[in-house]
Amino acid sequence: MLDLRRRDFITLVGGAGLLCAAKARRARAQQPAMPVIGFLNGTTPTNAVHHLTAFRRGLNETGYVEGQNATIEYRWGGNRSDRLPALAAELVRRPVNVIAATGGFGSAPAAKAATTTIPIVFTLGGADPVESGLVASFNRPGGNVTGVTLLAVALTAKRMEILRTLLPKASVVAALVNPAATDAAQELQSAARAFGLELRELKASTVDEIDAAFRTLAAHRFDALFVGSSPLFQYDRDRIVALAARHAVPAIYDWREFAAAGGLMSYGSSITEMYRQAGIYTGRILKGDKPADLPVLQPTKFELVVNLATARTLGLEIPTTLLALADEVIE
């Protein structure tokens, strides 16, 4: 009798355990799946550390935290545009709930070519998203694509004006440009003519060509250097800043990161803010917003950064008019 009761007890306990396990499985099955974000970036994890931090911060502001209630699948192009279409296709097959196409090198066009249904949030430095065919318009993007742009090319004339204010006697300016950015080259020529400057283009679309461009710069007499907007230049900024210092040429750049790395001056909007806004848009889409209804965001604040330490090394005195306009002065 005792053994029978023991068997009945064991059977009861075992049955209860199976029932609890079944309930747990059903509860897990009823929970919504954790959303997956595809993060497609044209550069490398090392290059994008600060940008990724800003993206996650924006995502957090909408209530999503990586590893807690959202998963991020990373794909890195390694500064090679030819790798991005295959990486975008991988994310589509995964599949992901939204793709953040960042870091330049054609990540946004690659993502758009890979899917017409998965929402895409892009970041763009210099390209116009309407002219490049990513969206129908800034206010009503249409389709499955929206994002954030810095419109860096549109600030070309202002940077040239700042360079002219710094060097009123300059006559010949070299411009480091990516030949793929034809619109940027046209803007540069127009801006140079407007300020009475002769412009000599130094074209570079690879790291080796950047070195060759500076060898050309060293062989000629240029009064200053204008560094155009390009993902390649942004992510190889330490080399460019070092080469400008080696050749003792005053240079102006598009983003603060160049001045922080030792460049003389920069004028533009904030890349980290662009990534934060992209994170916010990604979170909003996960919550149900449609890309077609989210206007492409443009910068509203621009900052002039002056590196006084570099100016002293070059033997330059920054005009008080520029110092008064500077948002940040690096000592």
Q: CATH for 36-150+270-293, among 3.40.50.720, 3.40.50.2300, 3.30.70.120, 3.40.50.1100?
A: 3.40.50.2300
pLDDT of residue 182: 55
pLDDT of residue 188: 87
Lowest mean pLDDT among 161-170, 179-188, 247-256: 179-188
pLDDT of residue 30: 47
Flag whether pLDDT at 168 surpasses 70: yes
Task: Indicate if the alpha-carbon torsion angle 152, 155, 157, 162 is positive or negative.
Answer: negative
* Overall pTM surpassing 0.75 (yes/no): yes
- Domain definitions of the chain by residue range: 36-150+270-293, 153-268+302-330
Flag whether pLDDT at 153 surpasses 80: no
CATH topology agreement for domains 36-150+270-293 and 153-268+302-330: yes
- Please give the single-letter amino acid code of residue 266: S
Q: CATH for 153-268+302-330, among 2.60.40.10, 3.40.50.2300, 2.30.22.10, 3.60.15.10?
A: 3.40.50.2300
Report residue 59's pLDDT band, with 50, 70 and 90 as the boundaries: very high
What mean pLDDT is predicted for residues 55-74? 97
What mean pLDDT is predicted for residues 168-175? 95
DSSP label at residue 47: T
20 exposed, middle or buried (CB, 10 Å; 0-12, 13-18, 19+)? Answer: exposed
What are the backbone dihedrals phi and psi of residue 305, each rounded to the nearest 5 degrees, phi first? -120, 130
19 exposed, middle or buried (CB, 10 Å; 0-12, 13-18, 19+)? Answer: exposed
Query: What is the chain's mean pLDDT, rounded?
Result: 88
pLDDT of residue 301: 83
According to the per-residue pLDDT averaged within each range, which of 36-40, 78-82, 201-205 is highest? 36-40
The Cα–Cα gap between 116 and 145 comes to 9
pLDDT in tens, 295-317: 999 988 889 999 999 999 999 99
The side-by-side arrangement of strands in the sheet containing 172-177 is 198-203, 172-177, 224-227, 251-253, 265-268, 303-307, 328-330
